[in-house]
Amino acid sequence: MEFGNLIDGKQISASIRLSVKEDVERLVSQGHRAPCLAVILVGERVDSQTYVRNKKKTAADLGIQSIDKVLPESATQQQVIDIVRSFNNDKDIDGILVQLPLPSHINEEAVLNEIDIAKDVDGFHPINIGKLSMRGRKPEFEPCTPKGCIELIDRSGISIQGKNAVVLGRSNIVGLPVAMMLMNRDATVTICHSKTKDLKEKCREADILVVAIGQTKLVKKDWIKPGAVVIDVGMNTDENGKLCGDVDFNECKQVAGHITPVPGGVGPMTIAMLMKNTLTSAQKKFCN
């Protein structure tokens, strides 16, 4: 059995972006306008600003138009909702993304409820999430980071069906949706969290372990079943100020069959999936 096979998110996302770029060029060559993504950013969080800037650059590289609406931290919930509604009504906008988290005085659910589900390219509208959690239903779009996790597994030639999958973390953004997506692919799924007893033992049962708990290098090699697939969604800094995940990569790569690094694993996939969802939205509009 081989251990430590790197799942290269940079390489896989580059392949997806190239495919998206080719499809965008094909749309335009057929006389359609380029797909368009609208992003709403509220406040001055540095991580959110960086993410939005990267989205804008990637969109430009792929021929996708982007519109940014930046509001101060003091913006009201109604102001954000009014902008969402204006984007809903703009036929030249294919995707709307509200950068999360929002400031604490704004009700996230109320804002996300306002997004037209046909433009919900981030996949967090309650109807899309609801469809994701029900058998026989298909959401308009799946959330980008969880979708990226599944894509990494698929493109590494790893079968999900029948596997024991453990998801460490139960956030609305990653843990819960990725668990539902794994279950929809016929994995047997266990969701673990801060109140889970015997956490290490639960993780050691996983054929596929997705870690999204926000604790620096929490998962050590004795948490990993030999040969398991380890997907690290964490984004932290270590004692030396270097970017790292929730998994102790140097330890766990000695035991895991396949493993994502941080950086260069799940991170690049999130924006690639957002661009793919935006393209899909435009294709539905133009090609149906």
Sign of dihedral through CA atoms 271, 277, 283, 286? negative
Residue 132 has which token pair?
């994701």
**What ranges in 156-266 are assigned the alpha helix state H?**
175-184, 199-204, 249-252
pLDDT at 46: 84
Cβ(120)–Cβ(143) below 8 Å: no
Q: Which pLDDT tens digits describe the chain residue by residue (288 residues)?
A: 455 699 999 999 999 999 999 999 999 999 999 999 999 999 988 888 888 899 999 999 999 999 999 999 999 999 999 999 999 999 999 999 999 889 999 999 999 999 999 999 999 999 999 999 998 899 999 999 999 999 999 999 999 999 999 999 999 999 999 999 999 999 999 999 989 999 999 999 999 999 999 999 999 999 999 999 999 999 999 888 899 999 999 999 999 999 999 999 999 999 999 999 999 999 998 876
pLDDT at 4: 61
> Hunting for tokens 């929002």 — which residue is that?
102
Q: Which domains does the chain have, with CATH numbers?
A: 32-116 (3.40.50.10860), 143-267 (3.40.50.720)
d(CA 20, CA 151): 15
Q: How far is CA 205 from CA 73, 201, 226, in A?
A: 44, 7, 10
The model carries a pTM of 0.94
pLDDT at 288: 65
pLDDT at 2: 52
Residue 109 host element (H or E): helix 108-113
Catalytically active residues, by annotation: 55, 99, 122
